[in-house]
Structure 1
Amino acid sequence: MCGEGDIALKRINKFRTLKMELFLLCAVAFIICLFFYAITSTVASGLIDSYFNDRQNIEAIEKRNLKSLQKYVTDKEVTLKEIEQIKSWSLHQENVLLKVYFNGYLIYDSIYGMTENSNLALENENDYSKLNLYNLILKDAKVNVNLLCFDYTLQNNVSTVISIITILLFFFIIIAGVRKKIKYLVQLYNDLNGLSNNLNHEVHIEGCDEITQVAYGIDSLRKSVIEKIENEKRAYDANMQLITTLSHDIKTPLTSIIAFIELAKGQVQKDDITYNYLNTAYEKSFHLNNLINELFSHFLLHSNSYEIKFEKVDSDILVSQILEENLYELESKGTIIKKETSDISSYIYVNITLFHRLFNNIFSNINKYADLKKPILIKYYLIDNDLIIIIKNTKKKEKSFKQSSTKIGLNNCKAIMKKHNGQFITHEDNNIFIIELHFPIHKK
């Protein structure tokens, strides 16, 4: 086994690669199987010879074949001169070698045929005195026959079984050899599943091959992701601390400034030019105060650590109530409100505070940038599994400096809708500004 540093910085030893390990495993398996086959074949052959190829069994086989041969020559009325007709019988006997002797000399051999004009004719039956000779009665003579019988059926079957076992043994050794690698791959798979839920779940590192390198790479990636997340968290915490501190440090004197301006306005006549200056300063201060609040909300809404609690509410009641609250101010300014509504009886899961902030931002945007002399359309309805709320207003033709938008409010609206698993869509059509809100619903 090699250490983590060796895996990361050095090339894998060529004898420790997966290819080489598999080659060596196959070589070892082949040698083991070769010895197994040789030993089992030798032992099996010896046992078969001892128990099945003894003298008694061989004589029984010879007598059985002699009986078949005698029947053949009797049926065919074979004579001494026609002895070669026995060839037809011997060709059908796969495990029999036949020699025929007359007056002590070989006259027919199943391998060579008739032996009258060959040196085999000089072969004497006494040359094979240890072999059994049997009488065979031809039509016109009596001859002696030697039946060399052998039956390899059992040996062939045993050899086939041994070959199959040897092949299975080879695969068993290979599987046993790679089982550790497969087990390690399964471990890596489990580690990856563990990482999807917990980055602190360590990746097991074993061995010194390509799989180990992959494991080390995964573990290094895990550590780098943890480090990146920790750095981002530290940066976010620092930014959050900075924003909180700045908001507090700015809002405290700003609140005092707004209060002093209000007091000063009360001491000055409305037709005095000083009053206009104080009024402008008041509006700017109030606008700055709102921007600080929106900026602080923006950081909170885009924080994953900001926990939000949702509650199930009646969408018909909540939407009607919050729209009426915000539309009252517009109607008091003489703005015409057009409504296109339908039955929206359903439930939605919302955070009430964020829900109010959402519509406060929307109607604050309308008060600042909409032409309040033109009608404002409010429309809401249910479609599929969504509650759709549409708000349309006409934009002012010209914007003054104090009306310029930072779009922080709209971005906060989008973030709020994302927290609610909904959609916040804005678009313009011929100076008509359109806002669409999509809330997922739960029907009653």
Structure 2
Amino acid sequence: MLDNHFNKTSFISSQKNQALSDFRRYILDNNLTINDYDKITEWVRKEKYVSLYIYKDKQLIYNSDRNNSAIDYGKYEENPFLPDMSLYDIKFADADAKMYVECFFQYKYYYIVSFLNASISFFCFISIMLFFIKRKTTYIGMLESEIKILEGGNLTHEITVNGNDELSSLAQGINEMRKSFIERLESEDKARLANSELITAMSHDLRTPLTALVGYLDIIEYKKYKTDENLRQYIHRSREKAYQIKYLSDKLFEYFIVFNTNDDDLELEAFDGNELLDQLLEEQIFILEDNGFISQIDSCNTPFLIEVNLISIRRVFDNIFSNIMKYSDKSKIVKVKYYIKNQLLFVYIENEINNNLKTVSSTGIGLKTCEKIIERHSGKFVITKAKDTFSVQISLAIKLHND
């Protein structure tokens, strides 16, 4: 805009004429001679935006742009590049000379505009920065208030995540920590409830045979039996109840061993999967068939490796097949199969429930122990009951030989 203004108007020429007029008046008022370089320099410095070149007899005798403005007459410099029409006549007190004038008055306005530009830019920069800082401080304040809500115990309140910077990452981290804490509390509640149910069931299951045992022993001690045959019956029943109590206490002890052992304490070994499962299942199938059960097993021909704790896995199969022998219908087939899918080993066991065992009750300690053991192997233990069918599915991670 300034360039257009200066090009379209006579601003520069009028300012130059004004400078020439002022300089001539300055010479006249101070009666300057052609050799008063200091006085001339003083005027040039006062004007700031003017440069003077004074010639005498076509020789440059004064240059306001040089550090040493005085040039001896013996060292006059010719300046062939200046046309005659650019020179102005100037009269000093002792001689006439010619002068070339360069004016830079437009620079004053350029400086002003540059200063205004810098000021406006700085103001805009500060305004934009304050705007974004305000947004961040508002977001920080919101995070603070939401964290106080979490501190108050309301863990269901979700932290707001805005943007994609460090603050949003922090908010996301708090959210994940909140979810993990909720999951941990839920897990602890489930464990507490499971332990409570276990204790309730165990107290009932232990109290029943224990009460009967005490009653039989009282009959024997106080000789309330009528015949020796009754005595033998009471002794036999006392023995059965004692073994029943021993079995329940062993299961309870096994349950607490499994649930109070850290996962890091589990020592894993690598086995050939087919050999291991064939061995474990053949042992259980042999016991089943020896007790009059009918079984059917479908094996997997895919070679694979599996890392397990042998004692723990054997305990899982012992518990599962022990339940089958207690609650399964002998006239129905016990189906067992294992197969590979998506880098996982699936073991599926299914049996028909014997509905005639109405008096048999179970605390479920064995199955809970199995579930915990499989979880410690990073697997899944799924129990399914549908009408008269009971099934168990175990899934564990494996490594195929071609991996």
Question: Could you state the TM-score of these two structures normalised by the residue count of structure 1?
Answer: 0.46
Normalising by structure 2, what TM-score?
A: 0.50
Structure with larger RCO (C-alpha < 8 A, sep 6+):
1
